[in-house]
Amino acid sequence: MSFERVAIIGLGLLGGSIGLAVQDRLPGVATTGWDRDPATRARAAERGLVGTVCETGAEAVAQADLVIFCVPVGAIGEVAGELASAIPAGAVISDVGSSKQSVAEALAKALPGHTVIPAHPVAGTERSGPDAGFASLFLGRWCIVTPPEGADAAKVAALSAFWEGLGAKVELMDAQHHDLVLAVTSHLPHLIAYTIVGTASDLEGVTQSEVIKYSAGGFRDFTRIAASDPTMWRDVFLTNKDAVLEMLQRFSEDLTALQRAIRWGDGDTLFDLFTRTRAIRRSIIAEGQDDARPDFGRSDHAG
């Protein structure tokens, strides 16, 4: 099986990018979309993010065989509940949320009897809204699909093929494992970036203008991440609480060890860690993961 009519709920960075990518790479697939914000719907229509921008969510999902929720993770259950009676019984329900266990639970609760197959394209930028999306966002990027136990294999394969059609590489994973892995590779780095930029701007004697003026180096990379959407990230931390707190605990212990090394002049510990982390960065570049990322859509490019 393959999908012919895809409904996208939420027309920001992710929803808009999916709509553009489908039109670009899967021209036989019809797209409808809806966003609760009228200004976003108007801009989505101007940019042609989907084939048809609908005035109501019910209209957008009415004919769909695949419905993808592209709204902040804290809103997915509520909007799915609102659209429940309009979604065709045979449609596959998916999403792009950055945390997966709580989303899977919210969707299963809001849409009992539907086939729910959550997914997470690990691709994005610090931008949001209807002007942020671009068709090449998913090229060469991972999309992690987290089917619940006993999910229909043909539908899982169809969703995987859909994402591969958009240029992504697909990996199947248990939702709990996903949340643990992403807590360290995505959620914790965002928390650190938010903290360091907040700390710098709070410091007495360091004015806002100095933060801007002297942020040409590493700090500038942190400011890019710390510019990410506040609603989205509030929801990520509240819905992946346990895994994030576990990773934060480990991070704090490691940070304390570094603090100790600095205090006692233990250069070997610092040098060994920095050597190890440099090798990790070089192996990422060697695998082409960094090069796969399009420059478009980023205000900055970390070298």
Which of ligand PRE, ligand NAD, none lies near 19, with the C-beta cut-off 5 to 8 A by kind?
Answer: none
Q: What is the 3-state secondary structure (H, E, C) of 202-215?
A: HCCCCCHHHHHHCC
Q: How far is the CB of 125 from ligand NAD (least distance, A)?
A: 6
Task: Report if residue 72 touches ligand NAD, rule: CB under 6 A.
Answer: yes
Which of ligand PRE, ligand NAD, none lies near 102, with the C-beta cut-off 5 to 8 A by kind?
Answer: none
DSSP state of 88: -
Q: How far is the CB of 143 from ligand PRE (least distance, A)?
A: 10
Which of ligand NAD, ligand PRE, none lies near 186, with the C-beta cut-off 5 to 8 A by kind?
Answer: ligand PRE
Which of ligand NAD, ligand PRE, none lies near 31, with the C-beta cut-off 5 to 8 A by kind?
Answer: none
Task: Report if residue 57 touches ligand PRE, rule: CB under 6 A.
Answer: no
Contact residue for ligand NAD among 232, 243, 244, 247 (CB under 6 A): 232
Closer residue to ligand NAD in complex, CB, 65/229 = 229
Task: Report if residue 106 touches ligand NAD, rule: CB under 6 A.
Answer: no
Closer residue to ligand PRE in complex, CB, 64/118 = 118
Closer residue to ligand NAD in complex, CB, 48/267 = 48
Q: How far is the CB of 288 from ligand NAD (least distance, A)?
A: 20
* Residue 90, φ and ψ in degrees, nearest 5: -85, -5
Task: Report if residue 126 touches ligand PRE, rule: CB under 6 A.
Answer: yes
Question: Hey, which residues between 94 and 113 contact ligand PRE (CB under 6 A)?
Answer: 98
DSSP-assigned letters across all residues of the chain: ---SEEEEE--SHHHHHHHHHHHHH-TTSEEEEE-S-HHHHHHHHHHT-SSEE-SSHHHHHTT-SEEEE-S-GGGHHHHHHHHGGGS-TT-EEEE--S--HHHHHHHHHHSTTSEE--EEE----S--STTT--TTTTTT-EEEE-PPTT--HHHHHHHHHHHHHTT-EEEE--HHHHHHHHIIIIIHHHHHHHHHHHHHHHSTT--HHHHHHT-SSHHHHHHHHTTS-HHHHHHHHHHSHHHHHHHHHHHHHHHHHHHHHHHTT-HHHHHHHHHHHHHHHHHHHHTTTTTTS-STT-S----
Q: How far is the CB of 124 from ligand NAD (least distance, A)?
A: 2
Task: Report if residue 229 touches ligand NAD, rule: CB under 6 A.
Answer: yes
The binding site for ligand NAD (CB under 6 A) comprises 9-15, 35-37, 40, 70-73, 75, 78-79, 96-98, 121, 124-125, 128-129, 132, 229, 232, 236
Binding site for ligand PRE (CB under 6 A): 98, 122-126, 186, 228
